[in-house]
């Protein structure tokens, strides 16, 4: 139990640090362009302590749920003094304001990359997306009709070894089977299981795609009986005798490229999950009222911290750090959505002003000035209410019916 609590605390601390660094990203970018940063605080609520260095007040507040960076003139509605007005954020060029607003999300992407890089050089990166890379080529394929042979990995003389005899090697990536593309190892298994006899394989090796002919062996294997989950039945399936890579391990230099590729795949997957959020809300509601919790439903910070605690308790530190990296990517992408009050909403308004004034200039008109944010208050409040309701919904589900990695 102590390890579980420690895991929850560490994960929550990791989230707090991420949010604090998010605000630090805004601050550093703003200062680098000469904007005035009034305050940078970690947390909310009453102040624990603060100090002033230069023109900026730094401090810590009692509630460690995020933080804030107060930049003078973030919008034209902000009150600024005469001394601050020349350095107010709204007076700077569009691209500079964009960089400042995007710096928070950029910080999350950097943090996620750093966590994944450290994983790559210490424990390896999981083969999360099922890349069909071969980790081992077997000396034979086993058949369950002779129990001794199936349970004993020793190969009998003359036992078929389709992958080995067909020229498949360790490190190859199977890209297609009989003309069907196989982007994941599940796709490879699905295609091979229905085959028997010679089949056309294409593998990627050293940057080249190589055609091979593999004589798929029909073997008998035990599978779970759908009518009786506790029992098994024998079925005939195609087999070639390979094992796929479960994780990739790198040296310090090689991990840079490997982590970059993995990060790209993870960002795409995170974006796809973000698009699926609305359709998963009903399942979250149902789980609150007793339905089984779908592990693919969205979770709150509370749920993520609980999973982090369970991962620590079970020694699954790979899952712990992967979840922390994934959360950073999610927050980074979500915060760039063109919706107020998110940073992406402020960026959208900034570029709206730029395009609008450019069109006015083409018509010989003067610039129209900053957007009146008061006219956007109604839309902003709707988004805030929807966002708050979603957060409350997921927190409730994570308390009442949490997603667990252990039973």
Task: Give all domains of the chain, ordered by start, each with its CATH number.
Answer: 1-125+299-400 (no CATH), 133-245 (2.30.42.10)
Residue 201 has a pLDDT of: 94
Element at 329 (helix H, strand E): helix 317-334
Give CA–CA dist 21/17, Å, rounded.
6
Is the separation of the CB atoms in 220 and 235 below 8 Å?
yes
Residue 180: beta bridge partners? 177
pTM: 0.84
Cis peptide, bond prior to residue 95, ω within 30 of zero: no
Query: Measured in Å, how far apart are the chain's first and last C-alpha atoms?
Result: 15
Kindly report, residue by residue over 348-402, the tens digit of the pLDDT: 999 999 999 899 989 988 888 788 888 888 888 999 999 899 989 999 999 988 8
CA atoms within 13 A of residue 330's CA, in its CB half-sphere = 19
Residue 145 has a pLDDT of: 57
Q: Averaged in consecutive runs of 10 residues, what is the pLDDT profile of the chain (407 residues)?
A: 87 89 95 95 90 93 84 86 91 94 96 95 90 90 58 69 91 93 91 90 92 88 61 77 89 92 92 90 89 86 90 89 93 93 92 91 86 84 91 91 79
Residue 148 has a pLDDT of: 43
Residue 378 has a pLDDT of: 86
Q: Which residues have a catalytic role annotated?
A: 23
Residue 150 has a pLDDT of: 47
């Amino acid at each position: 139990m102590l390890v579980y609590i420690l895991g929850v605390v560490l994960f929550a601390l990791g989230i707090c640090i991420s949010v604090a660094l998010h605000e630090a990203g805004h601050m550093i970018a703003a200062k680098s362009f000469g904007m005035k940063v009034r305050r940078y605080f970690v947390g909310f609520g009453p102040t624990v302590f603060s100090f002033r260095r230069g023109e900026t007040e730094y401090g810590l507040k009692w509630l460690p749920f995020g933080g804030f960076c107060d930049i003078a003139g973030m919008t034209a509605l902000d009150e600024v003094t005469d001394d601050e007005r020349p350095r107010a954020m709204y007076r700077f060029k569009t691209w500079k304001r964009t960089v400042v607003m995007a710096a928070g999300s950029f910080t999350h992407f950097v943090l996620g990359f750093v966590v994944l890089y450290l994983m790559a050089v210490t424990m390896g990166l999981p083969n999360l997306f099922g890349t069909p890379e071969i980790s081992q080529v077997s000396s034979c394929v086993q058949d369950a009709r002779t129990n001794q042979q199936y349970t004993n990995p020793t190969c009998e003389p003359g036992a078929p070894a389709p992958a080995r005899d067909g020229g498949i090697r360790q490190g190859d990536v199977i890209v297609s089977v009989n003309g069907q593309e196989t982007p994941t190892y599940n796709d490879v298994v699905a295609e091979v299981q229905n085959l028997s006899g010679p089949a056309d394989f294409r593998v990627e090796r050293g940057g080249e795609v190589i055609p091979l002919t593999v004589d798929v062996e029909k073997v008998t294997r035990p599978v779970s009986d759908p009518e009786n989950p506790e029992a098994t039945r024998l079925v005939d399936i195609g087999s070639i005798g390979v094992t796929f890579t479960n994780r990739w391990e790198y040296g310090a230099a090689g991990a840079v490229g490997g982590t970059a590729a993995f990060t790209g795949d993870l960002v795409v997957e995170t974006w796809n999950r973000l698009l699926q959020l609305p359709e998963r809300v009903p399942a979250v509601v149902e789980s609150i009222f007793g339905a089984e919790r779908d592990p693919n439903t969205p979770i709150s910070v509370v749920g993520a911290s609980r999973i982090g605690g369970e991962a620590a308790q079970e020694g699954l530190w790979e899952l712990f750090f992967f979840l922390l990296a994934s959360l950073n990517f999610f927050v980074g992408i979500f915060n760039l959505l063109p919706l107020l009050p998110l940073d992406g909403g402020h960026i959208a308004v900034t570029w709206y002003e730029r395009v609008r004034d450019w069109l006015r200039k083409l018509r010989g008109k003067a610039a129209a000035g900053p957007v009146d944010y008061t006219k956007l208050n109604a839309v902003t409040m709707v988004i805030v209410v929807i966002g708050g309701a979603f957060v409350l919904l997921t927190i409730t589900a994570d308390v009442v019916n949490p997603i667990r990695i252990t039973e």
